[in-house]
Structure 1
Amino acid sequence: MAEFSAPFDGSPIATQSQWSRMARRWGIDGVHASDPADTALKISGNGSGNVILQPGEAFVNGFYYLNDTTKNIPITANLGTTARVDMVVLRASMSAKTVRAAYKTGGSSAPTLAADENGDYEMPLAQCTVAAGSSVVTAVNVLDRRWFTDRGAVPGLPGARRPSVRGQLLVEGTKLYVGDGAGWQWLTSPGVEEDTYTPQWTVGSTTIQWGASATNLGRFTVRGKRVDLLIHLVPSANPISSTEPIMVSLPPGYPAASHHRSILNWAYTGTNGDGIGSAVIYPTLSTTKIARLRYAMSNSVSSTVPPEVFTMHTTQPWPMRAGDVLTIDGSYWLA
């Protein structure tokens, strides 16, 4: 059959294979649980000849499974001389036309799970270690290996949210939240995953030329109203000599908030000295530039004498030279 589509009148879902193929597109295999701490279909050991399966529901290879009561699953005795690693699985069988919990023996490592979508398909629930010569599994020898499936993100309206479900994603407009069982916690808003730009450096109204082969890179991400910014500069030529403050442009289209100053960090390494300080956005001067690279100094060795704050120029506190490195790193808030 080259092409197939269903369900239509005269073209129904007629086989379990067709159903499985269709249903696998609705959701991924896994245990239905709101949180990994949920005991749905969890396996435990108590030192008897069985492991215990808790009630729960799951999808396996596009088929629904329900266990509505605790169920004992017999352990296969280990007659060998070394410990054996087994698995408890949910097995969807096309030939048996069932999904059932099963105990699957392994060896020095866990057994390989069946993955034939048209035959037997297995999904893990737990890994069990059976000691040599033993037919019991204790609690400490059971490792949870359940896969989980979710309900997908649900849309919502501000002020009319459904009750919070732990692990559930909620979309309100363009904002994403996750439920913690008590409320909805904001995760993210639209932004820029990662982008770059070429920073423009100025002193007064004059553009600073750093040399034809200079490294002058701005890298940024945007998360809601916050911009994370990194500017990395390595001049290949000595800049102009100026006593005007060094200024550098922010990413185009992302001006800083006008109601407060944002402060980033700068670090400088050069042939004439090293230093660190604060890169300050002064909205009264510009919301599209870092207006000042500030640093503190004191002429006194006394801790009671407050330091003075100065502005970095191309000649102060060090004459900037080719090969020096200046990095600005931090965050600022959008308008």
Structure 2
Amino acid sequence: MAITSYPFSSSPLVTEVQYALTASRWGKDGVHTDDLSSTALKVTANGTSSVSIAAGSAFVNGATFENDAAYSLSVTSNSGGSSARKDLVVLRYDASSDSIAPVYKTGGTSAPGLTNSSGTGVVEIPLAECTVAAGASVVASGAVADRRWGVGRPIAYGTPGARRPSRRGQLLVEGNDIYLGDGAVWNYVGTAGSPTWGTYTPVWTAGSTPINWGSGSQNIGRYKRDGKTCHVTIQLIPKGNPAGYDDPLQVNLPFACHNTVRQLFAVAFTSSNSEGSALGTATTYPTESTTKIARIRFPVSSGSSGVPGAEVVNTVNMLTNEPFNVRTDDVLTISGTYELA
């Protein structure tokens, strides 16, 4: 048994086998194309005893194959067959013949398998599956199924301010964010890593005026970010009674929200000061701010509906003292999922 390492000055890469073992790991086997809707090495038939392989190039076992014009490949006759036969058109890397060549492989009721001898002998990749009818020696135009493997491009890395042009089928990594190119734009796929909970300190305001809820207040913000969405829970238990303000109660978010659509959150309020409890809705107003929940609203009864004894249900903005006087040991909870900018 021998141990060999290369390429070094004292032990250069000198044989075809050494090159194949090395280069076959540089890239994936397949047709050089970003999009398999292209015609690169695509196989077509027109009802004759041959199929045509379009121009294109491919990578097989560390070596490159190039075809600069349409190439005709003969079909093996099925004239004596009693049932349809499924064949393969492959590119065959053959170390013994120093070549990569198109080969028509006959099968049976199912297509033949591919040969792969681990980089040192014969390695095949598929281009097409052809069906030859019983008793026939031709392939009909509709009897070719595309079986090409596309190699695409390697993963690219970048920053949002310096993105390269979008390439169809290519992955782009920016930090932990992953995007897939479609040839025109980079489409967000997801963020690497399992979503985990984080914490932040919510900042409460009435308009632009900061609110002091009193020393020892519980003011908790928890969030879980998953790609372009974020789940957030905010809980406030005051230890004081702030002044009354005319502006709506607002609270900041851990991350900026989407700048075109409103986002909704569930709200629960429980008074420890004999004012009952209520369920409401919190809303972002992107035209006003993308960094905070701009309104907290609760349903109230207001006015007559025109029916004796009936009232119309409306909603009102939550202020520090309306519709509840928020003070010591009251509990205000906001929870929901929103779309990030």
Q: Give me the TM-score of the superposition, normalised by structure 2.
A: 0.65
Distance 1:154 1:228, change over 3 A: closer
Match of 1:54 in 2: 54
The partner residue of 2:128 within 126, 129, 134 is: 126
Question: 158-167 or 146-155: which moved more?
Answer: 158-167
Aligned-pair CA distance for 1:20: 0.9
Distance 1:247 1:154, change over 3 A: closer
- Measure the CA separation in 1 of the matches of 2:218 and 2:290: 16
Please identify the structure whose Cα radius of gyration is greater: 2
- Measure the CA separation in 2 of the matches of 1:23 and 1:170: 24
- Unpaired runs of 5+ residues, structure 2, are 205-211, 243-247, 269-275, 307-311, 325-332
* Fraction of identical pairs, as percent: 36
- Code of the residue aligned with 1:103 in structure 2: it is Y
Task: Provide, for residues 172-212 of structure 1, a one-character-per-residue CA deviation record: whole Å limited to 9, x for no partner.
Answer: 9999887766xx63446997753322577899733279xxx
- Unpaired runs of 5+ residues, structure 1, are 210-215, 318-324
- Measure the CA separation in 2 of the matches of 1:266 and 1:48: 66
Match of 2:13 in 1: 13
The partner residue of 1:221 within 214, 222, 226 is: 226
Match of 2:143 in 1: 141
State the SS of the aligned residue for 1:51. Answer: strand
CA contact (8 A) 2:180 2:188 kept: no
- Measure the CA separation in 2 of the matches of 1:127 and 1:229: 47
- How many residue pairs end up in the alignment? 299
CA contact (8 A) 2:86 2:111 kept: yes
Match of 2:264 in 1: 265
CA contact (8 A) 1:278 1:293 kept: yes
Distance 1:296 1:77, change over 3 A: farther
- Measure the CA separation in 2 of the matches of 1:160 and 1:292: 37
Match of 1:321 in 2: none
State the SS of the aligned residue for 1:66. Answer: strand
CA contact (8 A) 2:34 2:153 kept: no
Match of 1:213 in 2: none
Match of 1:75 in 2: 75
Paired residues for 1:228-247 under 5 Å: 228-231=229-232
Distance 1:62 1:192, change over 3 A: closer
- Code of the residue aligned with 2:24 in structure 1: it is R
Distance 1:281 1:45, change over 3 A: same
- Code of the residue aligned with 1:25 in structure 2: it is R
The partner residue of 2:283 within 279, 286, 297 is: 279
Aligned-pair CA distance for 1:44: 0.3
Task: Provide, for residues 57-87 of structure 1, a one-character-per-residue CA deviation record: whole Å limited to 9, x for no partner.
Answer: 1110111111222111111223332222221
- Measure the CA separation in 1 of the matches of 2:159 and 2:197: 35
CA contact (8 A) 1:199 1:249 kept: no
Aligned-pair CA distance for 1:16: 1.1
Match of 1:197 in 2: 198
State the SS of the aligned residue for 1:19. Answer: helix
Match of 1:328 in 2: 336
- Measure the CA separation in 2 of the matches of 1:281 and 1:192: 30
Question: 41-50 or 98-107: which moved more?
Answer: 98-107
Distance 1:243 1:126, change over 3 A: farther
- Measure the CA separation in 2 of the matches of 1:306 and 1:332: 32
CA contact (8 A) 2:284 2:290 kept: no
- Measure the CA separation in 2 of the matches of 1:145 and 1:275: 58
State the SS of the aligned residue for 1:149. Answer: coil
- Measure the CA separation in 1 of the matches of 2:156 and 2:192: 23
CA contact (8 A) 1:277 1:296 kept: no
Match of 1:88 in 2: 89
Question: 41-50 or 188-197: which moved more?
Answer: 188-197
Task: Provide, for residues 126-162 of structure 1, a one-character-per-residue CA deviation record: whole Å limited to 9, x for no partner.
Answer: 1112222222112211111111123436789999999
Distance 1:201 1:9, change over 3 A: closer
Task: Provide, for residues 88-130 of structure 1, a one-character-per-residue CA deviation record: whole Å limited to 9, x for no partner.
Answer: 1101112222111111122222221111122211101011122
- Measure the CA separation in 1 of the matches of 2:315 and 2:132: 71
- Code of the residue aligned with 1:18 in structure 2: it is Q
Match of 2:22 in 1: 22
Match of 1:40 in 2: 40
The partner residue of 1:150 within 149, 152, 156 is: 152
